[in-house]
Amino acid sequence: MIVVMSQRATEDHINAVLKRLQKVGFEIHLSQGVERTIIGAIGDKTRMADLALEAMPEVDNVVPILQPYKLASRTFKEENTIIRVGDLEIGGNQIHVMAGPCAVESREQLFEAADAVKKAGATLLRGGAFKPRTSPYSFQGLEEKGLQYLAEARERTGLKIVTELMDASSLPMVAEYADIIQIGTRNMQNFFLLRAVANVQKPVLLKRGISATIEEWLMSAEYIMAGGNYQVILCERGIRSYESYTRNTLDLSAIPVIKHLSHLPIIVDPSHALGKWRFVSSMSKAAVAAGADGLLIEVHPNPSEALCDGPQSLTPNNFGSLMTEVQQVAGAVGRTLT
């Protein structure tokens, strides 16, 4: 951490800062320039957030130097983390596609979707039983019934199950059925929920908050890991920008950046980011070319009848073409798809 003192800082102001830093055990490096005094402080980076140095007189600026996360960082663990879900390895050489409807609507709808995505090469089935909806008047999900259908679909197809947890109170129920527990974009900083999934030994798919920085996202992963669950898969799903033609702005740069900063696997959800099925295939190929470890894709047997997110859902046919095209790109970057 670097503390930049203002030009008006006297020796007393500087000493006050030094004392405060020393009291919490930081090692000090002092640079007294002509224009400014600059204090370098090295110590337990996890304690820095609680020091309110900017509130001290004549402190101009405090610049953090080290990353505030530890367990999630590549500095802490050099080699890539591979998450095992049954016999699947997420973060390894094979790219995994998690596909299925936004919401589980009925047994028939789910089975039709599951059969189609299985056939096209997906290895996991996605589907929501609890749905976070912007409007209180929208379909909110089938809840436990939905989870049961997902389990039946797993029986039927062998696909592993990814499904969203919305509240700590439903964790035991969701954990019973899911192979991977999804934390949605609106809950990335629901710290109660993060602490709850830290206590289960199930992989967690942590979606990036709609306006979360990469650092905040890794801090949320750190919450889960600090609580004892190291099986975190990150999922980029678009961030909020001023551009409104697409629903959100898919930040594919997050892929190489996460690979640089962290050892955790990262997958991409182009369906939610784009909001229009027409653009999902291009962005899936781009995600894989950029180094993503997997994709999360919405597929619905009949998108225009979907109770949720129809406009961004692919038909089984379109999904089949997408898989063929993605396979080509996967090969070009030395990865396999199926």
CB of 8 to a second copy, least distance (A): 10
Helices (H), 1-54: 11-23
Maximal CA-CA distance, the chain: 75
Residues of span 96-135 touching a second copy by CB under 8 A: 132-135
Question: Rounded to an integer, what distance in angstroms lies between the CA atom of residue 114 and that of residue 300?
Answer: 9
Residue 72 beta carbon to a second copy: minimum distance, rounded to whole angstroms: 11
One residue of 11, 136, 155, 201 binding a second copy per CB under 8 A: 136
- The answer to whether 317 contacts a second copy (rule: CB under 8 A) is no
Sites for a second copy among residues 221-240 (CB under 8 A): 222-223, 226-227, 239-240
Verify binding: residue 178, a second copy, rule CB under 8 A: no
319 part of the interface to a second copy, by CB under 8 A: no
CB of 12 to a second copy, least distance (A): 14
Does residue 166 belong to the site contacting a second copy (CB under 8 A)?
A: yes
Q: Are the beta carbons of 214 and 258 closer than 8 angstroms?
A: yes
Is 337 one of the binding residues for a second copy (CB under 8 A)?
Answer: no
241 binds a second copy (CB under 8 A): yes
Q: Measure the CA–CA gap between 321 and 97, rounded to whole angstroms.
A: 14
Six-digit token string for 182: 């999804």
Q: Does 77 bind a second copy (CB under 8 A)?
A: no
Residue 299: closest CA among 162, 121, 159, 99 = 99
Work out how close the CB of 271 gets to a second copy at its nearest, in angstroms, rounded to a whole number. 12
Q: Is 139 in the site for a second copy (CB under 8 A)?
A: yes
The SS3 call for residue 192 is helix
- Member of 77, 148, 175, 279 binding a second copy (CB under 8 A): 279
Q: Which of 10, 317, 332, 336 binds a second copy (CB under 8 A)?
A: 332
Decide: is 81 part of the binding site for a second copy (CB under 8 A). no
Q: Nearest approach, Cβ of 87 to a second copy (angstroms)?
A: 27
In terms of C-beta distances under 8 Å and separation of at least 24 residues, what long-range contacts does 91-95 make, across chains too?
A: 91/233, 91/264, 91/265, 91/293, 92/293, 93/334, 93/335, 93/336, 94/335, 94/336, 94/337, 94/338, 95/288, 95/292, 95/293, 95/294, 95/295, 95/326, 95/330, 95/335, 95/336, 95/337
**Residue written as token pair 């930049």:** 4
Binding pattern for the stretch 35-64 against a second copy, x by CB under 8 A and - elsewhere: xx-x-x-x---xx-xxxxxxxx----x-x-
Q: Is 289 in the site for a second copy (CB under 8 A)?
A: yes
In the three-class reduction of DSSP (H, G, I as helix; E, B as strand; rest coil), residue 286 is classed as helix
Least distance to a second copy from the beta carbon of 235, Å? 16
Query: Is residue 216 at the binding interface for a second copy, with CB under 8 A as the rule?
Result: yes
Minimum Å gap between C-beta 158 and a second copy is: 28
164 in Cβ contact with 128 (< 8 Å) = yes
- Confirm or reject binding of residue 5 to a second copy (CB under 8 A): no
- Any bridge partners for residue 84, and if so which? 89
Contact region for a second copy (CB under 8 A) — 110-118, 199-207, 228-236, 326-334?
326-334
* Residue 59 to residue 8: CA distance in whole angstroms: 10
Strand, helix or coil at 17? helix
Nearer to a second copy, 157 or 315 (CB): 315
Q: Cα separation of 316 and 320, whole Å?
A: 6
Amino acid at 112: E
- By C-beta, is 27 or 108 nearer to a second copy? 27
